[in-house]
Amino acid sequence: RRARIHYPPLRDKVTDAGTAAAHIQDGTNLFISGFTSGYPKLVPRELVRRAQAGEEFKVNLFAGASTGESVDGILAEAGVVAWRRPYMSDRTMRRLINDNQIRFKDDHLSMLSGQVRAGNWGPVDVAIVEAVAITEDGNLIPTMSVGNTPTYVKKADKIIIEITHEPEELYGLHDIFIPEDPPYRMPIPIYRAADRIGKPHIDMDPSRVVAILFSEEEDCCAVFTPPDQAARRIAEHILDFVRHEISKKRLPASLPWQSGVGDVANAVLSGFLEDDFYHNLDIYSEVLQDSVLDLIDMGTVRVASGSAMTLSYKGRQRFFNELYRYKDKIVLRPVEISNSPEVIRRLGVIAINTAIEVDIYGHVNSTHVMGSQLMNGIGGSGDFLRNGALTFIVTPSTAKGDRISAIVPMVSHVDHNEHSVDIIVTEHGLVDTRPLTPRQVAEQVITTCAHPDYREMLWEYYQRAIHANGGHEPHDLSEVFAMHQRFLRTGSMRKDC
Ligand code: 0RQ
């Protein structure tokens, strides 16, 4: 594996996890690679070992986005995380954040790298980066994600590298470009989803590398289950609607697509496979999953751009075996480029993102259950919803065995507002809010998107709000959260419980 270090002076830095982790002490600002995949594994495990041996320390942990059980999960469980930013999705870490034992602040993913370069997150004491190789010039070839790694490497005082056994032929998959910072920044020159504007490696100052480890570990592979009935219905509504808009010439057929992660995203992408209307598509998204490989193989997708690939075990084998074929069609970029508001606007992305709840006027909560409990974070949903050419917000109409309505009078936490949301979709139907007044939106969302069991309750609320207060977006503040309060009191939003 030493042959993966093509810059000979760095070969002396090969060491063991204990020596590498000694650079991390109480209060270290620790910036790691990783964006659903491509995160370091050995040093986090060593930190857990130290904590279990009785050492008392806490680090401030910054990643690209979620890193899963093998980093966020074990570090949270070991009690060594003081701060965590940004998006995470691990159950243990979520519990500790909601218990106020880990400090967490949510950010738009496109903004982070710039904030770190500006110094707003404090000094970058140590960066730990997973890579497949170090080039002859001492630069880094990342693995399956890019995220914020180029900026973390640029700003770090000390760099620790975990070299994996994933194929070195990943070289050429990545397009690394760090945009200028304010003031007077120049445009990011992406004009088509496939454009490559940067370098195939991450620039690195080799003199800051303090340790190199060889890793046999793999990312926890994603497990994909077939989309359920609600997700399939939501996907059908979206694909029918876009087909209709294209056939009426209100939407160019060539706009690129972004789709979040999860059931509905998979259902939409599977829907493309079964629908010969859609072909030669571009994807300009954040995370690319197995379905993208299928769509490339079918010729439905021409090119897919993202910041990371999250594949199942089978998907990884398939991708690595046929890298030569996929490398021409897939580009991985820093998240400040994959999610750049400027580029998303220019390309005219069709964006689909999932909500926890949506209110009758189209305001969206993507992050907090019952207003208080953090779920995961805003991720890239704000980057795409605020800037896409056509934006969908989707959710099953109910949660927790129909005890919660995802359509509510007023969202209990606001991530996206009515001005960013074009189309609201549940399994029951779709409302295009663009030509409607807020009152028309409310009427259609209640009668089309809400679950039938909750329509009367929502309609009665809306009528009472009109009669009590009237106005452009009528609300009755004395009972606007009655459904949420009933759930907190009885375990259900239904009146009969
Ligand atoms: O709870 O895990 O205990 O079963 O939320 O919900 O239905 O499994 O759906 O996995 O797609 O997650 C919004 C959280 C949806 C996610 C959210 C509970 C539900 C379940 C998960 P359990 P589902 P998903 C950018 C994309 C924000 C970031 C983003 C998310 C759990 O999509 O984090 O958009 N989005 N990134 O029971 C109480 C409700 C609920 C509820 C769902 N109303 N009340 N609990 N749940 N609705 C990617 C790009 O590419 C840009």
Q: Within the chain, which residues score under 70 in pLDDT?
A: 497
CB-defined site of ligand 1, < 6 Å: 258, 260-263, 285-287, 353-357, 366, 369, 375-376, 378-381, 384, 396, 399-400, 404, 406
Categorise residue 68: left if φ over 0, alpha if ψ from -120 to 50, beta otherwise: left
User: What is the model's pLDDT at position 185?
Assistant: 95
The number of the ligand 1 atom at minimal distance from the alpha carbon of 351 is 51
Cα distances (angstroms) measured from residue 233 to each of 57, 228, 229:
49, 9, 6
The first and second tokens of residue 88, run together, are 């995470």
Q: Where are the alpha helices (DSSP H) in 66-193?
A: 74-77, 91-98, 112-117, 149-155
Pocket test for ligand 1, best of 36, 268, 354 (most atoms within 8 A of CB): 354
Tell me whether residue 456 is one of the annotated catalytic residues: no
Angle, CA 269 vertex, CA 318 and CA 366 arms, to 5°: 115
Q: Which of 264, 336, 375 to mutate to test the pocket of ligand 1 (most atoms within 8 A of CB)?
A: 375
The one catalytic residue in 236, 286, 357, 427 is: 286
Length of the chain counted residue by residue: 497
pLDDT of residue 383: 98
Contact between 395 and 483 (Cβ < 8 Å): no
Protein residue whose Cα sits closest to atom 6 of ligand 1: 356
263: left (phi over 0), alpha (psi -120 to 50) or beta: alpha
Paired tokens of 474: 């009528």
Closest ligand 1 atom to residue 287 Cα is 50
| Alpha-carbon separation of residue 328 from 27, 171, 174, 239, 336 (angstroms) | 43, 12, 11, 27, 22
pTM: 0.97
Residue pLDDT, tens place only, 184-204: 999 999 999 999 999 999 999
Tokens of 205: 């100052």
Q: Tally Cβ neighbours within 10 Å of residue 16.
A: 12
